[in-house]
A = this chain, B = another copy of it.
Amino acid sequence: MAKYAEPVERLMAQLGKLPGIGARTAERLVFHILKSDEVEALALADAIRDVKKLIRPCKICFNLTEKEICSICSDPRRDAGTICVVEQPKDLLALESTGAYQGVYHVLMGHVAPLEGTEAEDLTIEALGRRVKEGDVNEVILATNPNVAGDATALAVASVVAPLGAKVTRLARGLPTGGQIEYANTSILSDAINERREF
């Protein structure tokens, strides 16, 4: 099989290692990069380098940050006594977007998924335990995803945090606002009935 010049083959191989990018897509991307403006392509290379060099987990909550301590943990207006536990930084971001939460976070960096090789020990649960033990923590809110892996993860977190005396809560389940009952599945409807509130 004939080959492209070495740098072209190398970039194709590197891009092909990214998730969801096969050989054909990698080839298309390489030709896009070859055609594109040099400034643009080098900006992409620099952005990759900077993300690896500048971004690290916050020493307290494991959120992504450029500093030792992330902007939320170092904000004195946030309530450090309430910790919201999420699976991923993107969950934290989604919750922040609501503007409804004034506490701090703890990012687990994954969920319990034995089939994918992720056990509770691979998450940042131990560090959360230390935060609860050492700090003045009133409440730990479990905000893992409302699915099997998220529920298993919530259980693992609770089993560490509850014995330390912290109040453990989890996000409410029920009908998604904006949805329609006829399209809600049976798990959603059972949750909505079981967690019904006084009107």
Taking Cβ atoms with an 8 Å cutoff, the residues of A that contact B are: 1-8, 10-11, 13-15, 17-20, 25, 27-34, 38, 40-52, 54-55, 64-66, 88-90, 92-94, 96-97
Q: Which of B8, B17, B38, B45 contacts A46 (CB 8 A)?
A: B45
Q: Which of B6, B28, B41 contacts A48 (CB 8 A)?
A: B41
Tell me whether chain A's interface is mostly helix, strand or loop, or mixed. Answer: helix
Can you report 18 A-B residue pairs in the complex whose CB atoms are below 8 A from each other?
Answer: A2-B94, A2-B96, A2-B97, A4-B64, A4-B93, A5-B55, A7-B66, A8-B51, A11-B44, A17-B40, A19-B32, A20-B25, A27-B90, A33-B52, A34-B55, A45-B46, A45-B48, A45-B49
Tell me the complex Cα distance, A29–B199, Å: 44
Q: Is the CB of A7 within 8 A of B50?
A: yes
Nearest chain B CB to A165's CB is how many angstroms away? 31
Q: Is the CB of A19 within 8 A of B29?
A: yes
Q: CB-CB < 8 A to A13: which residues of B?
A: 47
Known: A42-B49, A45-B48, A93-B2. A64 touches B34 (CB 8 A): yes
Tell me the complex Cα distance, A140–B1, Å: 24
Q: Is the CB of A44 within 8 A of B28?
A: no
Q: Is the CB of A5 within 8 A of B65?
A: yes
Q: Is the CB of A64 within 8 A of B15?
A: no
Tell me the complex Cα distance, A15–B13, Å: 17
Nearest chain B CB to A167's CB is how many angstroms away? 26
Tell me the complex Cα distance, A11–B50, Å: 8
3 closest A-B pairs by beta carbon, nearest first, are A2-B96, A11-B47, A45-B48
Q: CB-CB < 8 A to A49: which residues of B?
A: 41-42, 45
Q: Is the CB of B51 within 8 A of A7?
A: yes
Q: CB-CB < 8 A to A30: which residues of B?
A: 51
Tell me the complex Cα distance, A48–B18, Å: 14
